[in-house]
Amino acid sequence: MTATDPAPAAAGRGVAVQFEDMHRWYGSVHALDGLSIDIAPGELVALLGPSGCGKTTALRALGGLDEVDAGRILVDGRDISHVPTNKRSMGIVFQAYSLFPNMTAGDNVGYGLRLRGIGTDERRKRAAETLELVGLGGFVNRYPHQMSGGQQQRVALARALAIQPQVLLLDEPLSALDAKVRRQLREEIRRIQIAVGTTTLFVTHDQEEALALGDRVGVMSAGRLEQIAAPAELYDRPATAFVAEFVGLTNRVKGMASNGVVDVLGGRVPLLPGSAGPGPVTALVRPEAVQLAPEDGANARVLAVSFLGSLGRVQVGLPDDTLVVAQVPATDVERLAPGTAVRVAVVPVPVFAVAE
Amino acid sequence: MTDPGGAVVGAAGAAGPEGGGSAVVARPTGAGRGRRRSRRQFGARIAILVLVFGYLLLPLLAMLEFSTRGDYGSRSLRSYVAILEYPDLIDGITTSLGIAVLTVFGMLLLLVPTMVWTIVRVPRMRRVIEFLCLLPLAIPAIVLVVGIAPIYRWMGQSLGGVGGSPLTLALVDIILVLPFAYRAIDSGMRTVDVATLADAARSLGAGWPRTILQVIVPNIRGGILSASVLAVALVLGEYTISSLLSFDTLQVVIFLLGKRDAYVAVAVSLAALVFAFVLLYAIARFAPGTGQRARIAPEEEPAT
């Protein structure tokens, strides 16, 4: 990951973006319910949420493709809420198949420049440079139907970057690609975004993608922003039950909360702010916080094991029929065959608890 | 084949996307005792084919036979040569072609932006637009004329030469062609993601006119072409309304001619049919970039 690539756009040109109390109704559906987000210049914010949570609506509102019913959008301090799409200078990459089929990759990338009255030679040069930036130097004369999905999305990214947009909007650009290409392109996007320095809003329903890409990740649900934070904080210290359950895997385990701690799985664990309690609660415990010791004082039995390469996931049954998933190092997988008696313990990292 | 309009309309039907060919295809049989049955089916297919072709070709052959009759049972092209001696006829052809061109452009100008706008901005109106466009099929021509005649009378009186020109027939023909053109363009628009392409073009800085002309239109050429072909065929074959509004289009002239000289009239009908066929074929064959369409649609993922 380097920041030294010859980016066609000047590096560090990012501008600030602010959503202010945005509302959007589709009939009776409240797609945006008072959404407010501040995005710092040059920052990449990933909006994450289940389908229908309003994340795409927010992106389309910023791009000018959809209107909002109330609220303002400020870009670089200027209210652009009523500026039409074609005057906004937003580079948008869509889910798929947004390249113009009648144009070559070069013409696709150069199209925005053509609209800006840039001459043919300059346009060709810049289109070629931008294609180079996304790793498709030799593809200038290819038509979209002659390229794979991953290549098409790279061209779409180049096309969005070529106009040196104020803000880059990525609307689930990887969701139509297969897993390997997706991971590869994800890293490319991050590298290029850092090199170019454009403020970026990335919308996805894939949490791995969001956590890997975002400087900060905003989790949305039902038109509201549940929490926006750096990926690690979001994962370790979820602010709401929704975030705790939506991001990462969690075990729902019964426990007894009192005075900021919860007794769960035979251990005492601190509670995160916003948790339910005191009294009986359901604690949301990450699989990596569950420890399995095969030796002494067994209180559970291994039910199933899945080997995931670098690590393993083990499903164990407790005497009260609660199922708990633990994450273990790959080296432990062999010792934990189904049927093995184990002792379940919990690492005292703070957990979130919801009312039982 | 007494209605002179019938000849060319017949050609339109054959050139249209829903040509009669599919009627011949029989349902696949189950396995097992199939041989005799499939043989019978083969025979049935041939019979149907012969019937259909006979039905379509017999009148044409009869026209050819009739129009080439010379004196005392000889063959002669006299009637065809005579076509050129009727200036009305040449005028009729020019008028009809003029109307055809205006109809095509008017129809495209009306339909394409409307349909793009509907898809991008108000998708739930798609059904309504479709219904409106199909309405002309349900309204008999005579009803249309009764409603439209006063407007034409007013245009003729108030708008001078332009208002009285037979080219104004294009206005009615645009309405008549809507059902066919809508279907053709709609099927073209279903092969590409119009909404996303429009969003992409607009985000890059294109206004609506550029979005439609530079991005949407080139990608729905197939649909636009079919719509245009259908419009031309319809205009060249249209008789009822031109006649009732007293405009001398090709079909009207042919009809009048038929009263004077039946041989020439039939010759003209046949020639018009061949002309329309050649014209439609030429449009479909030589219009720019029609070969590419088919290759774009079924794209599958090659390795990256």
Note the pLDDT tens digit of each residue in B86-124: 888 888 888 999 999 999 999 999 999 999 999 988 888
Looking at the partner chain, which of B199, B296, B301 has a beta carbon nearest the beta carbon of A65?
A: B199
The C-alpha angle with vertex A190 and arms to A189 and A196, in degrees rounded to 5, equals 85
Looking at the partner chain, which of B204, B301, B303 has a beta carbon nearest the beta carbon of A111?
A: B204
This model's pTM is above 0.80: no
Mean of pLDDT values over A255-274: 88
- The CA distance from A144 to the nearest CA of chain B, in Å, is 8
Residues of A in contact with B202 (CB under 8 A): 64-65, 84-86
Q: Side by side, which strands form the sheet with A300-307?
A: A290-293, A341-346, A300-307, A311-317, A323-329
Of A8-12, A281-285, A333-337, the poorest mean pLDDT is in: A8-12
- The CA distance from A257 to the nearest CA of chain B, in Å, is 51
Report which of residues A294 and A212 the model is more confident about. A212
Residues of A in contact with B218 (CB under 8 A): 100, 102
Residue B33: what pLDDT?
A: 65
B198: closest chain A residue by CA: A98
Nearest alpha carbon to residue A67 among A106, A107, A108, A22: A22
Q: How far apart are CA A98 and CA A92, in angstroms?
A: 10
- Whether B302 and chain A come into contact, CB under 8 Å, resolves to yes
- The CA distance from A281 to the nearest CA of chain B, in Å, is 46
Does the beta-carbon distance from A85 to B295 stay under 8 Å?
no
- The CA distance from A181 to the nearest CA of chain B, in Å, is 8
ipTM of the complex: 0.83
Residue B265: what pLDDT?
A: 82
Residue A28: what pLDDT?
A: 86
Condensed to tens digits (0 to 9), the pLDDT of residues A139-179 reads 999 999 999 999 999 999 999 999 999 999 999 999 888 88
Say if CB A13 and CB A169 are below 8 A apart.
Answer: no
Does the beta-carbon distance from A115 to B192 stay under 8 Å?
no
Condensed to tens digits (0 to 9), the pLDDT of residues A196-232 reads 899 999 999 998 899 999 999 999 999 999 999 999 9
Average pLDDT of each block of 10 consecutive residues along chain B (304 residues)? 38 37 43 70 90 90 88 82 81 89 94 92 90 89 86 81 79 92 92 92 93 93 89 88 86 84 84 83 68 40 38
Residue A111: what pLDDT?
A: 95
- Find which of B196, B204, B293 to mutate to test the A interface (most A CBs within 10 Å of its CB): B204
- Locate B146 and state its tokens: 């009764």
Q: Where are the domains of chain B?
A: 81-288
CATH architecture observed for domain B81-288: Orthogonal Bundle (1.10)
Does the beta-carbon distance from B304 to A148 stay under 8 Å?
yes
Residue B5: what pLDDT?
A: 38
B199: closest chain A residue by CA: A65
Does the beta-carbon distance from B304 to A151 stay under 8 Å?
yes
Residue B12: what pLDDT?
A: 38
Looking at the partner chain, which of A92, A147, A178 has a beta carbon nearest the beta carbon of B200?
A: A92
pLDDT at A7 > cutoff 60: no
Does the beta-carbon distance from A98 to B202 stay under 8 Å?
no
Looking at the partner chain, which of B203, B295, B302 has a beta carbon nearest the beta carbon of A63?
A: B203
**Terminal CA-CA length for chain A:** 45
Residues of B in contact with A91 (CB under 8 A): 203
Looking at the partner chain, which of B193, B218, B301 has a beta carbon nearest the beta carbon of A97?
A: B193
- Whether B204 and chain A come into contact, CB under 8 Å, resolves to yes
- The CA distance from A171 to the nearest CA of chain B, in Å, is 11
Say if CB A209 and CB A188 are below 8 A apart.
Answer: no
Residues of B in contact with A168 (CB under 8 A): none
Set out the domains of chain A in order of their start, with CATH numbers.
Answer: 17-89+164-236 (3.40.50.300), 249-355 (2.40.50.140)
CA distances from A216 to A48, A50, A241 (A): 10, 18, 19
Condensed to tens digits (0 to 9), the pLDDT of residues A29-86 reads 888 999 999 999 999 999 999 988 999 999 999 999 988 899 999 999 999 998 999 9
Residues of A in contact with B304 (CB under 8 A): 148, 150-151, 181, 184
Cβ contacts below 8 Å, chain A against chain B, sum to 86
Q: What percent of chain A has pLDDT over 90?
A: 52
- Locate B134 and state its tokens: 């199909």
- Whether B213 and chain A come into contact, CB under 8 Å, resolves to no
